[in-house]
Amino acid sequence: MSLEGGGGGAGGAGGAGGDERGFQALTKKVTRERGISCESYKEKCLKRRIAVRMRARGVHTYTDYARLLDHDAREYQELLDALTINVTKFFRNPETWEALRPHLAELWATRHRAGSRLRVWSAGCASGEEPYTIAVLLAETLGDDLLDQSLIDATDIDRLSLERTHQALYPDTAFTEMPASLKRRYFVDQQPVPRIREILRVLAHDLTREPPPRPVYDLIVCRNVVIYFEREAQERLFQVFVNALAPGGVLLLGKVETLFGPAREQLTLVDPRERIYVRPA
Ligand SMILES: C[S@@+](CC[C@H](N)C(=O)[O-])C[C@H]1O[C@@H](n2cnc3c(N)ncnc32)[C@H](O)[C@@H]1O
């Protein structure tokens, strides 16, 4: 198996197939010590990211890199950051959020009639830009008065990302895709206003092995996460999402992610371009 982008170092070892055992030992170590189930991620992705870190540290074999991790906590964190990939933005792919708006309004109307709160799960939320984007859209849809009739579970496996979500203090670069008028209305000093923050519950959660934080959601948003998972892990997770969706509930995936397997039969694809699926009521 070749190691993508490995160059002469880690790439040379993987390309020669000589360090496969070292790779397996390293990923097992990370799984054992840091609880990331590496077997659920695409091997090619893992190798590419580990190679980046090995090159950065001038290490040529997986075994030497594993040894380095034992006495370099900072490098361990760098590796975990590299493996989890936390790239995100407010209103990432603005057209997707525009397409979601009418669905939010419909979901809210149904929940409101039933006299209950609108339940949202932002799964793999990184540093929080995605769940805060949803909170802003909810504020626009429900109005400030009714915003507390909704709740968002913002979950991620990466603790540093969760701390950033809690802290909720964002650099200018996070806002480049967000309409300026919404930023003015819902942010002060680069932070979401309290009424937006208050509907978020930030939780550590591993999508590859834990049940959903709540049994039922009206909207599940999971974008740019499953793309890194092996096919079986994706299929398992899709079924978890379907089981957790209320009748009429909506699932939003990333732009290049596609639902497949038995879960696909249970949801209706209502917007193929924006990957919006609905569970029939
Ligand atoms: C590229 S970011 C996507 C952020 C956001 N959803 C978006 O589209 O802008 C991927 C996120 O998935 C998280 N992630 C990766 N594996 C995960 C797992 N097994 N369980 C939960 N989150 C995971 C990473 O930590 C990272 O924050």
If asked whether residues 71 and 196 sit together in one domain, one would say no
Query: Tens of pLDDT along 60-90?
Result: 999 999 999 999 999 999 999 899 888 899 9
Angstrom distance (rounded) from CA 238 to CA 218:
15
Indicate whether 1 belongs to any domain.
no
If asked whether residues 27 and 117 sit together in one domain, one would say no
Contacts of residue 64, defined as CB under 8 A and 6 or more positions apart, other chains included, come to none
CA 224 to ligand 1 centroid distance, Å: 7
Ligand 1 pocket mutation pick from 27, 205, 225 by most atoms within 8 angstroms of CB: 225
Angstrom distance (rounded) from CA 90 to CA 171:
11
If asked whether residues 168 and 44 sit together in one domain, one would say no
Output the residue whose Cα is nearest ligand 1's atom 13: 124
Indicate whether 196 belongs to any domain.
yes
* pLDDT confidence of residue 86: 85
If asked whether residues 204 and 232 sit together in one domain, one would say yes
CA 156 to ligand 1 centroid distance, Å: 6
Tokens 């499953």, residue?
A: 226
If asked whether residues 78 and 123 sit together in one domain, one would say no
Query: Tens of pLDDT along 215-262?
Result: 999 999 999 999 999 999 999 999 999 999 999 999 999 999 999 999
Indicate whether 157 belongs to any domain.
yes
If asked whether residues 220 and 122 sit together in one domain, one would say yes
**What is the CB-side half-sphere exposure of residue 207 using CA atoms within 13 A?**
36
Domain that holds residue 18: 10-84
Output the residue whose Cα is nearest ligand 1's atom 16: 84
Indicate whether 171 belongs to any domain.
yes
Indicate whether 4 belongs to any domain.
no
| Domains held by the chain: number | 2
Assess whether the C-beta atom of 257 lies below 6 angstroms from ligand 1: no
CA 40 to ligand 1 centroid distance, Å: 13
If asked whether residues 158 and 221 sit together in one domain, one would say yes
If asked whether residues 47 and 104 sit together in one domain, one would say no
CA 212 to ligand 1 centroid distance, Å: 15
Q: Yes or no: say if 141 and 111 are a contact pair by the CB < 8 Å rule.
A: no
If asked whether residues 15 and 57 sit together in one domain, one would say yes
CA 93 to ligand 1 centroid distance, Å: 16
Average pLDDT over residues 171-189: 96
Assess whether the C-beta atom of 208 lies below 6 angstroms from ligand 1: yes
Q: What is the enclosing helix (H) or strand (E) of 14? A: helix 10-15
If asked whether residues 118 and 47 sit together in one domain, one would say no
pTM beyond 0.85, yes or no = yes
If asked whether residues 137 and 79 sit together in one domain, one would say no
If asked whether residues 218 and 113 sit together in one domain, one would say yes
Maximum C-alpha span of the chain: 63
Angstrom distance (rounded) from CA 274 to CA 180:
23
Output the residue whose Cα is nearest ligand 1's atom 7: 88
**Where do the DSSP E strands lie in the chain?**
118-123, 150-156, 187-188, 191-192, 200-204, 217-222, 245-253, 268-271, 276-278
Assess whether the C-beta atom of 193 lies below 6 angstroms from ligand 1: no
